[in-house]
Structure 1
Amino acid sequence: MKEDFLHHIWQFKKFNVLDLKTVQGDRVEIINAGQYLQLAGPDFFNAQLIIGSQKWAGNVEIHIKSSDWYIHNHERDAAYDNVILHVVWEHDSEVFRHDNSEIPVLELKSYVMPDVLQNYNALSVSKSWIYCEKELESIDRFVLDNWKERLFLERLERKSVPIIELAKATGNDWEAVLFCFLAKNFGLNTNGDLFYSMAKSIPFSVIRRESFEAENVEAILFGRAGLLDFPHEDTYFKDLKSRYDYICHKYQIPEVHIDALQFFKHRPDNFPTIRLSQLAQLYHKHQNLFSKITQRVSIEDIYRIFEVQVSDYWQTHYRFDKESAKKRKALTTSFVDLIIINTIVPFRFAYCKSIGKENSEELIALLQAVAPEKNTIIDKFKYFKIPAQSAYDSQSLLQQKNEYCNHKRCLQCAVGLELLKK
């Protein structure tokens, strides 16, 4: 038994509300169960009840046992002085306010219908993966589709927070913010944070001014990432090093230390050298990338924007001084899909939110045109008959698993609430 289940029971009156009596023997009539705040203080605010012959307006506190009132030290907290009813599953102790006046107690266990408790117990039994795994297939599609939309928007809200924070820190230089988050995306999971730190360390005004020469952008990125710190014999390395030193002197860019980038366990096409060269070519090709991706463009337009490959040198190299077979090493569709999912869509959402515009339907439509992500979580949902047809579906399902299932928030989940009704 958990308190959130009792909150659910009280909020939705999942018990026999007729002939309610407090443990003190007074009749209880619920006019208004109160507002469920989920904040510090009493659980339900501004309830209206008739207890005995007296009408009361105030707060309701809910616990598993009456004695939890003292375990939580509510008797010392003035915020609980206005509690008019203590709702518990099991009454094991009288409860008094700060002024020593007794609080009426309603013991719920004798009023809750058996099927409600049975459904809750069934939902709370551990399974091989998540509690409701065997029942997922039975959920009404309308309920699931509406819940997916809420999950998707919750995920966008979370992803938009660091974007908006960096925008404020940069004086709303959205081009600079985009550069940082694109760099993070190009670094993937292994080097993403290092690429992000590298991008933040570069004044974006320098990228703006030097973007007309691809070699200069590449020199800046490689230099800030620490890839020019150790000498090599290649002429191209020496050219990049010379360009980087000159640009740092020209713009008085202070030195910065970035931890060593990871090559280990990466496929060669994901080496940081390759991804940085592609990022440099992207900013050489598009000087106003922010305006291009924030416009209401089609998925095909986005793919065209990201039609970039590495510079000539990196077509025959993965590391300095080590020549390899020639390969264009262009951005793949699957990689661009990750950029759309993890950068472009959250970025559009954050920008529109910052200017008071609503664009959720547009973003849902965009991700419905993108292939779903492939990972163990999405595979598991597919196994339990909830397949992801698009990136919109996979993003919603990731939010479901990570923010609800993993934290056992069944009673805040539309799927869990639907199963409790059955």
Structure 2
Amino acid sequence: MKEDFLHYLWKFKNFECSNLTTTSSLPITIIQSGQYLEQAGPDFFNAQLIIGNQKWAGNVEIHLKSSDWYVHHHEIDSAYDNVILHVVWEHDVEIYRADNSEIPVLELQQFVAESTIENYDSLRTAKSWIFCEKQLRSLDQFLLNNWLERLFFERLERKSVLVTVFLQQSTSDWEAVLFCLLAKNFGLNTNSDSFLELAQSIPFSIIRKESFEVENLEALFFGMAGLLDLDHQEVYSKDLKLRYAYLTSKYQLGQPIMRPLQFYKHRPDNFPTIRLAQFAMLYHQIANLFSRVVELTTMEGMYDVFRISPSNFWNTHYVLDKQSPFKSKIVSKSFIDLIVLNTIIPIRFAYNQSLGIEDTESLVQIVQSIAPEKNTIIDRFDSFGVSAQNAFQTQALLQLKKEYCDKSRCLECQIGIELIKGNSKCNLS
């Protein structure tokens, strides 16, 4: 038994409520169980109860044993003076406030259905991947879909935090924020930090001025990435090096980034050189990119914008100084899907919030039109009976696994809450 389980029981009234009594046999009626506070002080704030014939308003503290009150020294902490009920699993000692007044105690175990405890124990038994893996197939689909929708927006809120940070750093220049976010996500997981450092090392005002020549953007990107430091023999590479030297002097740019780019274990099409060349062409071809994408309402429009081919040099190269057979390096549809999910949707969500616009429906429609992501997490959910039909659902499942399953937050998860419910008359629907 853990204390967080008792928090769950009280929060959701998952126990027999009709004949509640204190340990001194006074009847208890719950009007409001209080606001759950996950911080210092009593566990539930501003509860309303009738104990005996007296109505009380105040706080509720929860412990496994009554004696924990003294173990935690609450009797000398004024924050607990307004506790009107001590909810425990096992009552082993009477407790008193600092003024020596006795605090009523509810011993919860005698009011909790055996089935609820069994469900809780079952959910916390050994797992091969997640605790509820054996019960997932039995879930009500309506409950699951509602929870996935909430999870999607949780994930979106988390991603939009970075947008807010960049916005403050760029003095509210949305185009500059998009530039940094796109750079980060063009780098994929392996090079995301390096690409972001690169983007932040070049003032966006310079990108605006130099975007008329794609070679200038490539020179800036490859130079700041430290890829032009070697003595290259290719004419194109030498030209980029000269351009970089000129631009560095012109704009008084600093040293190349500290994080080296990673090529290892990447397919050639995902080499950082290719992604930087595509990124350069994107900003060469499309001015005011943020203004363009913020108005798009379909994935077809997104594909039209981001389906970019880098300069001709890259048709026969993957790196700067080694020729390869001809192959077009156009940005793939699957890569655009990732860019939209990880960059465009979060920045539009944050932008709408900044304007006080409620436009989540159109964002959801875009995400629902994207094919489901393919990775080991989504595959495992599928093997346990939860199949994703689109990226809206895969994003939600990723949030579920990383923020709830991996952190054992079953008692905060709607799936866990539903699976633990027993036969109590006070169960919340």
TM-score (norm 1): 0.96
Per-residue deviation, 1:24: 3.5
Q: Distance in 1 between matches of 2:136 and 2:98?
A: 47
Q: Distance in 2 between matches of 1:268 and 1:72?
A: 59
- Equivalent residue for 2:427? none
The 1:360–1:126 alpha-carbon spacing in structure 2 relative to 1, beyond 3 Å, is: farther
Aligned amino acid, residue 112 of structure 1: V
Paired residues for 1:280-359 under 5 Å = 280-359=280-359
- Equivalent residue for 1:66? 66
Q: Distance in 1 between matches of 2:297 and 2:18?
A: 58
Per-residue deviation, 1:281: 0.6
CA RMSD, aligned part only?
1.6
Q: Distance in 2 between matches of 1:239 and 1:12?
A: 68
Per-residue deviation, 1:87: 0.2
Per-residue deviation, 1:141: 1.3
Identical residues among aligned pairs (%) = 59
Secondary structure class of the residue paired with 2:97: coil
Q: Distance in 2 between matches of 1:349 and 1:79?
A: 39
- Equivalent residue for 1:165? 165
Aligned amino acid, residue 15 of structure 2: F
TM-score (norm 2): 0.94
Secondary structure class of the residue paired with 1:70: helix
Aligned amino acid, residue 41 of structure 1: G
Cα offsets for 1:200-236 (capped at 9, x unmatched): 1110000001101000011111111111122212221
Per-residue deviation, 1:256: 4.3
- Equivalent residue for 2:419? 419
Q: Which runs of 5+ in 1 are unaligned?
A: none
Secondary structure class of the residue paired with 1:89: strand
Q: Distance in 1 between matches of 2:222 and 2:76?
A: 60
Per-residue deviation, 1:67: 2.5
Aligned amino acid, residue 332 of structure 2: T
Aligned amino acid, residue 193 of structure 1: D
Contact 1:198/1:258 (CA < 8 Å) preserved in 2?
no
Larger RCO, structures 1/2 (Cα 8 Å, 6+ apart) = 2
- Equivalent residue for 1:43? 43
Q: Distance in 2 between matches of 1:14 and 1:75?
A: 29
Q: Distance in 1 between matches of 2:130 and 2:103?
A: 39
Cα offsets for 1:224-266 (capped at 9, x unmatched): 1111122212221111111111112212223343221111111
Aligned amino acid, residue 331 of structure 1: V
Contact 2:194/2:257 (CA < 8 Å) preserved in 1?
no
Secondary structure class of the residue paired with 1:418: helix
Per-residue deviation, 1:386: 0.7
Whether 2:14 is the aligned partner of 1:11: answer no
Q: Which runs of 5+ in 2 are unaligned?
A: 423-429
Secondary structure class of the residue paired with 1:20: coil
Contact 2:307/2:336 (CA < 8 Å) preserved in 1?
no
Cα offsets for 1:16-41 (capped at 9, x unmatched): 22443322343333233222233332
Paired residues for 1:143-154 under 5 Å = 143-154=143-154
- Equivalent residue for 2:264? 264
- Equivalent residue for 1:246? 246
- Equivalent residue for 2:101? 101
- The size of the alignment, in residue pairs, is 422
Q: Distance in 2 between matches of 1:130 and 1:122?
A: 12
Per-residue deviation, 1:51: 2.6
- Equivalent residue for 2:186? 186
